[in-house]
A and B are shown apart, each in its own frame.
Chain A
Amino acid sequence: MPNNKKMYDKGKVVAGLCIFVVLITFPFWFNLGKAAPAPEPKLSDKAKAAKECVMPKATMKTEHMQILNEWRDTVVRDAKRIYTNPSGKKFNMSLSNTCLDCHVEKAEFCDKCHNYASVTPYCWECHIDPKEAK
């Protein structure tokens, strides 16, 4: 009768299982001993003075790309450039001239989050960072 305790091809099976465990636990040992604090986007003095963004902070945090998308489509397709936010404030719908006018330091603001979240918006292939352009 089969001996229920014996493993056949034990070496290969154990090796396979080791590979499996190493792969599955990859995030645990990859980050071992590394501190990864969440980024704190730095508000420029100009933004601080303005106090408010286009939308409330929580909305901006999660939906700023959708706002930009809406702006882009409205400007490029409908040739309308003025955006009025719910509290009645008017903005010129522009990536470089509005967002980056307040958030002057792109590297200290946009890029901080984006590096952390591993997103690389392709916008800057065409749009300029006014600070760099100077």
Chain B
Amino acid sequence: MNISYMYSLIAVIILFLLAYVGVKFPGGEVFFGIIIPYLALIIFILGFINRVIDWARSPVPFRIPTTCGQQKSLPWIKSANIDNPSTTGGVVVRMILEVVFFRSLFRNTKCELKESDKISYEWEKWLWLFSLTFHWAFFTVLFRHLRLFTEPVPACVQLVAKLDGFLQIGLPGLMLSGVALLAAVTFLFLRRILIPQVKYISLGSDYFPLFLIFGIAFTGILMRYFTKVDIVGVKEFTMSLVTLNPHVIKGIGGVFYVHLFFVSVLLVYFPFSKLMHLGGIFMSPTRNMVNNSRAKRHVNPWNYPVKIHTYDAYEDEFREKMIEIGLPVEKMIAPETPEEPEEKE
């Protein structure tokens, strides 16, 4: 047992009960169905913006991109234009590949002592595979949910639902992304508790979002395949929310409100947690900077004007004294031949 995940698990269970029991009280449906979701969305958007602006206010005086290839230098040395971008275009391509395929996570290695004393580094692709699955599945599920929030439903949403359900297993048809999401989030959790080193560095703030997302996926799947919910009623309700004409619809089960409440909690939690990596990836100087320090001068933004005394001025001031004690000077006093001027500097 581990306090970090016990607390998170208990928190999610309490949230479940809160919503499940809460909607049964008078006014509960309005509270959990209308007030909380609207508030959550507002907090999410404002919190997100606030966090990003906060980051934008932090100066990044030096170029600190992670460099994963040869920097651009002389024309005859081949440079890695994406892995060590020297142009904005390179940064954009690198960023897209990072966001869409998690390239840097693909480089993940595992360090182990083998035969008790030999250090070894090995490929470790499972984390990459499952986190990519997790994020893509999450996105796909979210995208498919647009059918509840749009009327008429755009063709692309229908197409994605069709592809997602192409196995045509059972009725209602099995959606692969939902299953993939639940499987991936389970893997990510097991990884944290089964690998001792990862367990050691895992905190409540790592477990809580995992449990919460597990809860969302679990209640969603429960609703779709097992306890069932009146989708037409649900859509009438969600459409009333997005057309700013909110009213509750009777006869939508408690599990739906748990699902909705979990999503609201996720939205509120988002801007204040590590989940902000959604915005953070774009604000991350190790990813979004052009590595051109050799070609361009970057001035520290908080440099204050420094009073400087150049060597030229120094020599002008002390020339006579220097000559007197025999120190070499660049310019002699006398109208002698001015020595090669380009030698200065």
Q: Considering the chains assembled together, what is the distance between the CA atoms of A117 and B233 in angstroms?
A: 10
Are A66 and B147 in contact, with the CB atoms below 8 A?
Answer: no
Shortest Cβ distance from A113 into B: residue: B232
Shortest Cβ distance from B161 into A: residue: A118
Shortest Cβ distance from A66 into B: residue: B171
Are A31 and B150 in contact, with the CB atoms below 8 A?
Answer: yes
B69: CB under 8 A from chain A?
A: no
Are B239 and A36 in contact, with the CB atoms below 8 A?
Answer: yes
Are B60 and A8 in contact, with the CB atoms below 8 A?
Answer: yes
Nearest-neighbour CB distance to chain B for A47, whole angstroms, equals 18
A-B CB contacts (within 8 Å), total count = 102
| One of A16-24, A76-84, A85-93, A103-111 contacting the partner | A16-24
Interface hits, A14-70 → B, CB 8 Å: 16-17, 20-21, 24-28, 30-31, 34, 36, 38-39, 58, 61-63, 65-66, 68-69
| One of B10-18, B49-57, B109-117 contacting the partner | B49-57
Nearest-neighbour CB distance to chain A for B155, whole angstroms, equals 10
- Residue B232 contacts which of A4, A13, A117, A122 (CB distance < 8 angstroms)? A117
B162: CB under 8 A from chain A?
A: yes
- Residue B56 contacts which of A9, A63, A113 (CB distance < 8 angstroms)? A9
Q: Considering the chains assembled together, what is the distance between the CA atoms of A21 and B67 in angstroms?
A: 32
B121: CB under 8 A from chain A?
A: no
**How many positions in chain A have a CB within 8 Å of any CB in the partner chain?**
41
Are B230 and A61 in contact, with the CB atoms below 8 A?
Answer: yes
A1: CB under 8 A from chain B?
A: yes
Are B242 and A31 in contact, with the CB atoms below 8 A?
Answer: yes
Are A38 and B236 in contact, with the CB atoms below 8 A?
Answer: yes
Are B242 and A13 in contact, with the CB atoms below 8 A?
Answer: no
Q: Considering the chains assembled together, what is the distance between the CA atoms of A9 and B228 in angstroms?
A: 49
Are A62 and B229 in contact, with the CB atoms below 8 A?
Answer: yes
A134: CB under 8 A from chain B?
A: no
Q: Considering the chains assembled together, what is the distance between the CA atoms of A112 and B232 in angstroms?
A: 10
A-B contact pairs, 27 of them (CB 8 A): A2-B301, A2-B302, A6-B57, A6-B301, A9-B56, A13-B56, A16-B282, A17-B53, A20-B48, A21-B45, A24-B45, A25-B45, A27-B149, A28-B244, A36-B239, A39-B232, A58-B230, A62-B230, A63-B228, A116-B235, A117-B147, A117-B235, A118-B158, A118-B161, A120-B158, A120-B162, A122-B168
Interface residue ranges, B against A (CB under 8 Å):
41, 44-45, 48-49, 52-53, 56-60, 146-147, 149-151, 153, 157-158, 161-162, 168, 170-172, 228-233, 235-236, 239, 242-244, 251, 279, 282-283, 301-302
Given contacts A8-B301, A120-B158, 14 further A-B contacts (CB under 8 A): A8-B57, A9-B56, A13-B56, A17-B52, A21-B45, A24-B44, A26-B146, A27-B146, A27-B149, A31-B242, A34-B151, A61-B230, A63-B228, A117-B147
